[in-house]
Amino acid sequence: MSDIEINAPKEIDFEAVGFMSGLEFHQQIKAPYDDSEDALEHGSKLFCACPAYLRDDDPDFTILRQLRAVAGETGDVDVSAMFEKLKQSDTIYEGYEDTTCLIELDEEPIFPINPEALYRTLTIARQIFHLELVDEIQVNRKTIIDGSNTSGFQRTAMIAYGSDDSFIEVNGKNISIYQANLEEDSAKNVGRDGDTRKFRLDRLGIPLIEVATGPDMSTPAEVLATAQRIGELLRTTGFVKRGQGTIRQDLNVSISRGNRIEIKGVSELELLPEYVKNEAIRQKRMLDLLDIFKSRNISKRRVAYIKPKDLTPIFEDCKAKFVKKALDKGQKVVGARLPSCSGLLKYELQPDYRFGTELSEVCKVTAGVGGILHSDELPKFGITEEELDQVKKELNVKDDDGYFFVITSEDQGNKAVIGVRTAFQMWLDQDGIVPEVRAPRGDGTTGYLRPLPGKARMYPETDSRPIHLTKELQLRIESTEFELPEERIERYTSEFGISQDLAEQLAIHPKNDLFEELVANYEVDATLVASTLLSTLVNLRREGLDTTKINRSRLHEVFKLVAKDEISKDAVELVLTEITKQKGRFKLVELIAKLGIEKMDESAIEEIIQEVVDEHAELINERGMGAMGTIMGKAMAKLSGNADGQTVSAIVRNLIQNS
């Protein structure tokens, strides 16, 4: 091992290794299926009218399913589906009586595709990314049996393809856009119990637009900048949903001697550079490791003897608490020999991510185990040298061999060992980087998830007719115009006089259309409206208040009263706070009267401020205008939302100067 560099580098020369990356950007679309209040507020699902919003409350019911792999249109079973089938795990789905229907349970044929979702995704594809629209849209089934779809497949439709004009400019470089798809989102993973997976159905079926770039990014910084630009462009349309869980990116990464690796479902934008950098490092380190395999004569024939062995009797008197606790529950210790792998399990594939960690990830996804214990980290955790000597004897471990074991059920232990053997066979069979899907980890590294799917996973959706683009739809698409973010920022600063910072935030905010409505309909300060939408509502939500009660019509009511001088602009936050606390129906004017915050006329305001000035005459004589802040605070406290700060400030200043 002395000639092997165990530690992975922290950085890599991207040009030297031939780094390439592309993005598949997924964004939920807000599109009402009908004109119901829920649909207009939250949007609807893609193939039914269920409201499209995520829930955190306890589910009303659960169902148990076991999914199976089936052949696609080619007659073959997809490699990733076969991989999932080997797990043979059950799946529990959690649903809600009022927002989950039979379609999401796969108990009823789908409705016709959401027409507004279709229009909005087609319009984005054409008008934002300049893609060519397909003449006929065919909804397909994409086999996925990892439990994330009750049906065992995801519905997806290609809606547009790239041309020479299909690109976005990112820091002076053209990044090609080669395709856009309309898809249904998957169910939400909420954990697992042993080898039983658990998903929630609130997210299943929400419309997604997938925007795929070419492999044109040559540095991690370009990957981040491209994702940010696509996100800005999508948000500026007003057609997309916002918030946690509404955006995910799949990253495609390769190096010259590598292969395309897909990093699936990245939601932390700031970690994109770390994921692609570490994946480039991993591919380079994996290629080096395969060369070490060759030098040690680790072959497919030899790894075929990686077989599960019951090691439980060795640990019957083990002093390690976690081992004793597991055995008391009837679990087993199952292990296997790894030929000529001594010392290699601590070899880093990514910074702080060892080959042993990779085998552990393989065991987790293939068998649902918590992890592995291996020869390069033992003795440790209370496991003794004497016990390990017995393990090596039982597994027939030679000096240059490694070994590992798991503590779990016998069935899961056997699956884990078979999963590791299969992984070795794929690495050796490929003699290079195996095309695979990897899962993002919180530290910027990635873990093994499954083989990369092939063409066999796709076949037509039999419950959906081909969709022809009518002339009316095409005309509607072509007549829709979007402002680019930079154009909207310039208009907001020049037309409404708001600051550059507010304009930049508002330009890509989902309520920017409401901002324009309010400013156009009422004579109110544009900065007040912008800060209310961007800051006040966010702060109230962070305080745990139910801001869903502050809908568009309520905001219209509030700013209409401000424009009519019936409440002060400084009372807006107080009014909105009280709205969130109301139960049932109520009239806003009655609420304001109850709060006692009707706006006073200027003479009444001056009378109250004069009282404050008289009470603090000594302070004013001593400090003059230096007492302004104190007097202002006392006056605002007394007026309690009945007057604007600007009006109060002017009166305070005048009274102090003339006192």
Instruction: State pLDDT tens for residues 11-67.
Output: 999 999 999 999 999 999 999 998 888 888 889 999 999 999 888 899 999 998 876
For the stretch 333-361, pLDDT in tens is: 999 999 999 999 999 999 999 999 999 99
To 5 degrees, how large is the angle CA 518–CA 520–CA 524? 60
Asked if the model's pLDDT at residue 456 lies above 80, the reply is no
Read off the DSSP letter of residue 214.
Answer: -
Residues 6+ apart with CB under 8 A from 147: 67, 89, 91, 187, 189, 197, 199
DSSP helix/strand/coil, 360: helix
The CATH code of domain 293-432 reads 3.30.1360.30
DSSP string, 576-603: HHHHHH--S---HHHHHHHHT-PPPPHH
Token code pair at residue 388: 């390990």
From residue 168, alpha-carbon distances to 151, 172, 209, 240, 444 in Å are: 36, 10, 17, 19, 27
> What's the distance, Cα to Cα, between the start and end of the chain in Å?
88
379 preceded by cis ω (within 30°)? yes
Read off the DSSP letter of residue 376.
Answer: T
Q: How confident is the model at residue 75 (pLDDT cuts 50, 70, 90)?
A: low
Q: Which residue has the higher pLDDT, 326 or 257?
A: 326
Q: Which residue has the higher pLDDT, 181 or 452?
A: 181
Residues 6+ apart with CB under 8 A from 102: 108
> Nearest Cα to 241, choosing from 253, 250, 231?
231
- Position 225 scores a pLDDT of 96
- Position 81 scores a pLDDT of 47
Q: Give me the residue spans of the domains in the chain.
A: 20-260, 293-432, 483-595, 602-657
d(CA 159, CA 135): 9
For the stretch 417-428, pLDDT in tens is: 999 999 999 999
Q: How confident is the model at residue 70 (pLDDT cuts 50, 70, 90)?
A: low
608-611 contacts, C-beta under 8 A, 24 or more apart: 608/635, 608/638, 608/639, 609/635, 609/639, 609/648, 609/651, 609/652, 609/655, 610/655, 611/638
DSSP helix/strand/coil, 309: strand
**Nearest-10 crossing angle of helices 552-563, 512-521:** 30
d(CA 415, CA 417): 6
List the beta strands (DSSP E) in 78-124. 91-95
- Position 642 scores a pLDDT of 64
Residue 349: exposed, middle, or buried by beta-carbon count in 10 A (0-12, 13-18, 19+)? buried
Asked if the model's pLDDT at residue 192 lies above 70, the reply is yes
Asked if the model's pLDDT at residue 74 lies above 60, the reply is no
Asked if the model's pLDDT at residue 7 lies above 90, the reply is yes
For the stretch 370-422, pLDDT in tens is: 999 999 999 999 999 999 999 999 999 999 999 999 999 999 999 999 999 99
> Nearest Cα to 401, choosing from 369, 374, 380, 428?
374
For the stretch 426-439, pLDDT in tens is: 999 887 899 999 99
How confident is the prediction for the chain on average, in pLDDT? 89
Q: How confident is the model at residue 69 (pLDDT cuts 50, 70, 90)?
A: low
Q: Which residue has the higher pLDDT, 279 or 244?
A: 279
Residues 6+ apart with CB under 8 A from 99: 50, 51, 53, 55, 202
- Position 208 scores a pLDDT of 96
Determine how β-strand 91-95 pairs with β-strand 196-200. parallel
**Nearest-10 crossing angle of helices 79-87, 355-367:** 80
Rounded to an integer, the average pLDDT of 278-286 is 96
Rounded to an integer, the average pLDDT of 282-305 is 95
For the stretch 512-532, pLDDT in tens is: 889 999 999 999 999 999 999
* Sign (positive or negative) of CA dihedral 68, 74, 75, 77: negative
